[in-house]
Structure 1
Amino acid sequence: MDEAVGLLEDEPGSGAFADLVPEDVWLAFLRFGRRLFHVPDTPDADGLLFQYGTDAFDGPATFTLDLTRQFEVSDSDGDHDHYVQVPCELRYGLTPALEALGSFHSWFFHHAGADLEEWAQGLTERAVWTAIRGLKPTEIRVYQERV
């Protein structure tokens, strides 16, 4: 799990995320999402989050497509201690088409009995892909944080 950011950053192969179109970033994220990590044996210990919307947390309003992997971390007694998240954020200048999408989020958890491929297929049909097609992100951030 400590190497998760590096593994995600290495997913595109020889290129960097900044050189990829959004659909390729999504495919790289899904490849990363298929990798299994040692996590506690609970249904929500290893999850993928697909979300988008408009925010203005650190400056002017932007549209953000956020692809996040979340891991549960347990203490020495096996109880929940915290989560570690590895987000990949694609940020765009705000346009009327992006703003009209509103916000959306969807979780997938590896040990909850759902099918990753079905979850991903449903998300590839969302209007966000049409709205961002041809747009270059103003920023792509990949990082790790404790939550």
Structure 2
Amino acid sequence: MTRRLSMDQAVGMLEGELASGLRSLDDLVTEDVWLAFLRFGRKSFDVSGAPDADGLLFQYGTYAFDSLPAFTLDLTRQFEISDSDGDHDHYVQVHCELRYGFAPALEALGSFDSWFFNDAGDDLEEWAQGLTVRAAWTTIHRLKPTEIRVYQEQV
């Protein structure tokens, strides 16, 4: 039987995947981060048996979080947390946020999001391949983000 990781280990596991390459975090390009996120997405965590309890989200767009618009790629893993009766209580999201700054070519990509759920019977590799054949991937996969931020939040 495969040992499932505690959700408390998720941020550390993602940070470990990002650091596992031969380059420092400051030298990573989008594709490096994406491959690390997919390795993280393949890890089994101890989640409830509820449908969609463990999901991956790929989303991007131009946002003005800090008052200046910046193109942002947000790679997120979402875990459902259940209460003592097994009912939904909240979600925990582990984000790997890549910011690129403002550029007209990036802004022209618009916004997009796609979910993958580990228990839905779909194939993670097919989902990932479907994202990397998008025209936006051609634009961003070799770009070096100006900032990479890993954090966890409760939603």
Question: Which category of TM-score, normalised to the shorter sequence, fits these structures?
Answer: over 0.9
Which range is displaced more, 15-24 or 106-115?
A: 15-24
Secondary structure of 1:122's aligned partner = helix
Cα 1:133/1:78, change in 2 over 3 Å? closer
Cross-structure match for 2:13:
7
| Identical positions, percent | 76
Cα 1:37/1:28, change in 2 over 3 Å? same
Q: 5+ unaligned residues in a row in structure 1: which ranges?
A: none
Secondary structure of 2:8's aligned partner = coil
Cross-structure match for 1:136:
144
Secondary structure of 2:97's aligned partner = strand
Q: CA deviation at 1:135?
A: 3.1
Aligned residues: 147
- d(CA) in 2 for partners of 1:115 and 1:60? 37
- d(CA) in 2 for partners of 1:82 and 1:144? 13
Which range is displaced more, 62-71 or 34-43?
A: 34-43
Q: CA deviation at 1:134?
A: 4.5
User: What does 1:58-97 correspond to in 2, within 5 Å?
Assistant: 58-97=66-105
User: What does 1:1-147 correspond to in 2, within 5 Å?
Assistant: 1-12=7-18, 13=20, 15-147=23-155
Q: How well do the aligned residues superpose, as a CA RMSD in angstroms?
A: 1.3
- d(CA) in 2 for partners of 1:16 and 1:78? 41
Q: Say whether the 8 Å CA contact 2:75–2:96 is kept in structure 1.
A: yes
